[in-house]
Amino acid sequence: MTSAQSIESSNDFVIKFANVNGSGSSSANELFARAVMRMGVPVAPRNIFPSNIQGLPTWYEVRVSEAGWLGARGGCDMMIAMNPQTWDRDVAAVDAGGYLFYDSTKPMPASKFRDDITVLGVPLTAMCNREYTDPRQRQLFKNVMYVGALIALLDMEFSVAEALIVDRYRGKDPLIQANVHALRLGYDYVRAHLPCPIGLTVRRADAVGDRIFIDGNSACGLGAVYGGATVAGWYPITPSTSVIESFTSYCRKFRTDPDSGHARYAAVQAEDELASIGMVIGAAWNGARAFTATSGPGISLMQEFFGLAYFAEIPAVIFDVQRGSPSTGMPTRTQQSDLLACAYASHGDTRHVLLFPENPYECFTFGALAFDLADRLQTPVFVLSDLDMGMNESLCKPFDWDDSRRYDRGKLMTYEDLEAGKDFGRYLDVDGDGIPYRTIPGTHPTKGAYFTRGTTRNAYAKYSEAGTDYVYNMERLRRKFDTAKALVPAPILKKAAQPTRIGVIYYGSTSPAMAEAGALLEADGIHVDTLRVCGFPFCDEIMQFIADHEQVFVVEQNESGQLRSLLINEGEIDPKKLVRVLHYDGSPITARFISGRIADALSDRKISPIRKVAS
Amino acid sequence: MTYLAKPKLLSADAPKNALGYTRRDYEGAISTLCAGCGHDSISASIVQACFDLDIEPHRVAKLSGIGCSSKTPDYFLGNSHGFNSVHGRMPSVLTGAALANRNLIYLGVSGDGDSASIGIGQFAHAMRRGVNMTYIVENNGVYGLTKGQFSATADKGSKSKKGVINSDNPIDLAALALQLGATYVARSFSGDKEQLVPLIKGALCHNGPALIDVLSPCVTFNNHGGSTRSYDYVRQHNEAVNRVEVILPRDPIETSYPPGSLRRVVQHDGSILHLRKLDIDYDPSDRIGAINHLQERQALGEIVTGLLYVDSSAQDMHSHLNTVEKPLNQLGDAYLCPGSKALDALNALLR
């Protein structure tokens, strides 16, 4: 053990696990994160993994924050260095005064360590080799063993981790015993051989409350179940695949007919993304609630169908879990770079409704809402999540549902309506909101049938090449888009503690980092009003927010400032007024990055937005 | 597609089917295809088949892609919902529609450009997936709307109107469908309504993916001397393996055919296919035999028509997916939303 001026912190630190992909470490690392959470201390874990099945480096970062900051913090107070391949960079990544935990079975030269960090060695491999003969067991239980060691080093309650193992393997006693044994081996070794606790500790707290711990993709899948989706057409792609896996898993639980055992849903793995959205469109045309889940490359492939659904006015829900782009980009890294591709998807003058959840709770609520909006507006609705939100578990408020809520199926012309002699023009704007009535195939023997097509037609769905019919249709679609402004979730305004002329606009998974960045800026005497955009089309409050501030920073996770471009384009805003704050290296944006960029920009521009009011 | 609705001039003594509909009730808008186009004959055969089967027009969903053939659903079953999707992607849209409501009758109409080129992937997967549909390929071997390019079904060595020789091998969609698991595969000729109408009727009664590859000459770009899709060429090289009669359960079953020349196939819905054999060795229940027969005859320059293969015990996609009997698009909130109690229990598990 090397001594250094050690970091001392309770319930506020970042610990990082460096592993080899495919070594079975993720469940052990998650066990640690959950144990911290069960002690009442908020955690924000993030899995940083390669586009590879086995062998390449992978990291799992756990932010422990009793204050409740759930965004990535940056930096690392303790490294669990279990991957020889990345040893040098992992050692270098530890903040001065931090801690390095490693497998000390083989002696390491002094040059491989640092003087300014505390090194903690446990002979994990040797212990495993003594205890187990099976190679796979040696690997898997080594992971559990280092969790046991951490429990001791951080002064956590052993019983909490033990209870988690019992929960995880309930009904499989041999597995419970084996895992608890490995946990105990690591724990006991550290208690016997190392001074513990170290400077980093986890103390029992009450800062988690009734919050739940779930990833965004699972929440999206659950949202689709509650939103009434019955048909899913999909094609596997990282990082969206688990949306469908979650949907089918929840459907098996909730949508299996108890009498017949038959399924009240259908999920079909299509041959490609084109077919998956084609199935969604066909199903929705025929009156089912249907969706797909994909990521950037899938969005590219689906473009032609998006245009058809927009122009033929067919509901569809698309969960887009964004990843590093363009092209194949960084398939297992996060970005918010599909914004423009979704907003204006397909050729011609198309505009699509977008929803921007900030966490798993909103993945659920916006996911369910998307189906109502798609039916109400008869158009594709995109739910834009990202890898950071979608694949990492995070704390959020518990899911809730109003049992009196009924699905909004929009303007459906029924058999009775048709019998009563109501005028049915499939593209007729009866109510002035741009939304026409539709019939579902099979509704009536002689009335209400129409031909759906991507070509121009008149208000009664008859093929037409008349410019006047085309213009009528396009103007109606514009009216419909305006109608959508009032239906998408309103933006969330957070006023600064003091009046300010500086505003910040952001969306989606930037939210937790932005909340913390606001606090960091405020601590430095910089006050900013913030506005979280929750949907597109942009409602008037967003434009008013921009008008009300002298300078507005637009924080987003892509290279070109796509939200900023969309605001400028849709709101006809002077580009000078919107300042880019862009993070796009594939890692989640941090509070330090946002606050630093804003503070620097304010300093560089010699803007004097800060009114220091004497207290 | 047309701007003009077809005038309803109905004679008082027009025959009616069991539903009280006349044949005109199964027609659509006026065709804008070229005079003499084989596709119009196919539309007429679809009208006849639906009339004969007493199908309620509004219970049919007719879907197509893009191209001359894909325009045709506008020209029949005017009381049915139609969907003109995008080029080559009709199969996925139809699959989705079939997932939503298993109780409608799905009719996919496509062309050789639509199905054998851009759409060959979707064609293949719809067949292997077991979608319950009648998939008619109106196959003229040429791109009509873009004025005369070869399609992927054009025979190697055949000549275009401009005199260009096709150097690529053709795709045989019937053979492909047989390999992919289609459970009703037929080939016919638009000019042979006596053969085509019963084949369409059999397909509509079939419970599974039914493909009918219909050779349908393009009178404008592919009806000349060097073409192997012209009216004259197909008539001269047509080799029918059987003739089909479709007998519905409610009709008296005819037994007047000569013994030894008939084969009865009872389909899922109770309809009976009577296959009158022209080729005495042909067995339409033998998938591999059908593939071999197609290839052997093709090597001899013959175009094999008739019902090539049928699996009368076929199961469709909904059986594979184990979905409920009630159409998914008719399940209400109570059947779909698990409610707040289930959510509370779930929340407890997520802490």
Q: What does the DSSP assignment read for A448-504?
A: S--EEESS-B-TTS-B---HHHHHHHHHHHHHHHHHHHTTSPPPEEE--SS--SEEE
Q: Nearest C-alpha of chain A: how many angstroms from B285?
A: 28
**pLDDT at residue B350 above 70?**
yes
pLDDT digits (tens, 9 = 90+) for A135-192: 888 889 999 999 999 999 999 999 999 999 999 999 999 999 999 999 999 999 999 9
**pLDDT at residue A24 above 90?**
no
| Residue B196 backbone dihedrals phi, psi, to 5 degrees | -70, -45
**pLDDT at residue A611 above 60?**
no
CB contact under 8 A, A284 and B96: yes
DSSP labels, A11-35: SEEEEEEEEETTSSHHHHHHHHHHH
Residues in chain B: 351
Residue A592 contacts residue A521 (beta carbons within 8 Å): no
Looking at residue A45, its pLDDT comes to 97
Q: Is the dihedral of CA A297, A299, A300, A305 positive or negative?
A: positive
Pick among A212, A279, A303, A399 to test the B interface (most B CBs inside 10 A): A279
Of B59, B92, B125, the CB nearest to A282: B92
CB contact under 8 A, A282 and B82: no
B36 touches chain A (CB under 8 A): no
Looking at residue B10, its pLDDT comes to 66
B125 touches chain A (CB under 8 A): yes
Average pLDDT on B278-287 reads 90
A494 touches chain B (CB under 8 A): no
**Which residues of B fall within a CB distance of 8 Å from A230?**
100, 328-329, 331, 336
| Residue A279 backbone dihedrals phi, psi, to 5 degrees | -65, -40
* Residue with more model confidence, A50 or B19: B19
**Least confident residue range of A2-16, A252-266, A520-534:** A2-16
Looking at residue B258, its pLDDT comes to 56
DSSP labels, A147-176: HHHHHHHTT--HHHHHHHHHHHTTT-HHHH
Q: Which two tokens stand for residue A481?
A: 């888009």
B305/B237 Cα distance (integer angstroms): 10
Looking at residue B8, its pLDDT comes to 67
Average pLDDT on B323-340 reads 97
B295 touches chain A (CB under 8 A): no
Looking at residue A39, its pLDDT comes to 97
A288/A25 Cα distance (integer angstroms): 41
CB contact under 8 A, B323 and A402: no
Average pLDDT on A15-32 reads 94
Q: What share of chain A is helix, strand, coil (3-state, %, to 5)?
A: 40, 20, 40
Residue type, A83: N
What is the Rg, in whole angstroms, of the alpha carbon atoms belonging to chain A? 27
Q: Beta A353-355 vs A380-386: how paired, if at all?
A: parallel
Dihedral of CA atoms A405, A406, A409, A412 in degrees, nearest 10, equals -130
**Which residues of B fall within a CB distance of 8 Å from A160?**
none
**pLDDT at residue B5 above 80?**
no
In this predicted complex, what is the ipTM? 0.95
Of A268, A400, A440, the CB nearest to B343: A400
Q: Nearest C-alpha of chain A: how many angstroms from B79?
A: 5
Pick among B30, B58, B317 to test the A interface (most A CBs inside 10 A): B58
* Residue with more model confidence, A439 or A612: A439
Q: What share of chain B is helix, strand, coil (3-state, %, to 5)?
A: 35, 20, 45
End-to-end CA distance of chain A: 49
Q: Among A7, A19, A58, A15, which residue's Cα sits nearest to residue A36?
A: A15
**Which residues of A fall within a CB distance of 8 Å from B145?**
none
* Residue with more model confidence, A480 or B259: A480
**Which residues of B fall within a CB distance of 8 Å from A262?**
322-325
Residue B62 contacts residue B73 (beta carbons within 8 Å): yes
- Does the pTM surpass 0.90? The reply is yes
Using CA coordinates, name the residue in chain A closest to B75. A451
Q: Nearest C-alpha of chain B: how many angstroms from A436?
A: 17
Contacts of residue A139, Cβ cutoff 8 Å, sequence gap at least 6: A23, A24, A128
pLDDT digits (tens, 9 = 90+) for B182-211: 999 999 999 999 999 999 999 999 999 999
Contacts of residue B276, Cβ cutoff 8 Å, sequence gap at least 6: B242, B243, B244, B245, B257, B261, B262
A470/A555 Cα distance (integer angstroms): 38
Residue A510 contacts residue A591 (beta carbons within 8 Å): no
Question: B121 exposed, middle or buried (CB, 10 Å; 0-12, 13-18, 19+)?
Answer: middle
Using CA coordinates, name the residue in chain B closest to A39. B351
Average pLDDT on B107-130 reads 96
CB contact under 8 A, A282 and B1: no
CB contact under 8 A, A268 and B78: no
**Which residues of B fall within a CB distance of 8 Å from A456?**
none
The string over A81-105, giving b where at least 16 C-beta atoms fall within 10 Å of a residue's C-beta and e elsewhere, is bbbeebbeebbebbbebbbbbbbbe
B85 touches chain A (CB under 8 A): yes
Q: Nearest C-alpha of chain A: how many angstroms from B236?
A: 38
pLDDT digits (tens, 9 = 90+) for B207-234: 999 999 999 999 899 899 999 989 999 8
A63/A51 Cα distance (integer angstroms): 23
The string over A488-506, giving b where at least 16 C-beta atoms fall within 10 Å of a residue's C-beta and e elsewhere, is bbebeeeebeeebbbbbbb
User: Band of the pLDDT at A614, cuts 50, 70, 90?
Assistant: very low
Q: Is B238 helix (H, G, I), strand (E, B) or coil?
A: strand
Q: Among B270, B272, B191, which residue's Cα sits nearest to residue B235?
A: B191
Residue A202 contacts residue A156 (beta carbons within 8 Å): yes
B328 touches chain A (CB under 8 A): yes
**Which residues of A fall within a CB distance of 8 Å from B98?**
282
Residue A529 contacts residue A502 (beta carbons within 8 Å): yes
How many Cβ pairs within 8 Å bridge chains A and B? Answer: 230
Place of tokens 């916006």: A366
User: Band of the pLDDT at B3, cuts 50, 70, 90?
Assistant: low
User: Band of the pLDDT at A615, cuts 50, 70, 90?
Assistant: very low
Average pLDDT on A425-429 reads 97
Looking at residue A376, its pLDDT comes to 98
Question: Mean pLDDT over all residues of chain A?
Answer: 95
Looking at residue A138, its pLDDT comes to 87
User: Band of the pLDDT at B315, cuts 50, 70, 90?
Assistant: very high
**pLDDT at residue A326 above 60?**
yes
Question: Mean pLDDT over all residues of chain B?
Answer: 92
Pick among A43, A286, A438 to test the B interface (most B CBs inside 10 A): A286
A558/A582 Cα distance (integer angstroms): 6
**pLDDT at residue B136 above 90?**
yes
Using CA coordinates, name the residue in chain A closest to B1. A463
Q: Among A316, A338, A162, A320, which residue's Cα sits nearest to residue A237?
A: A320
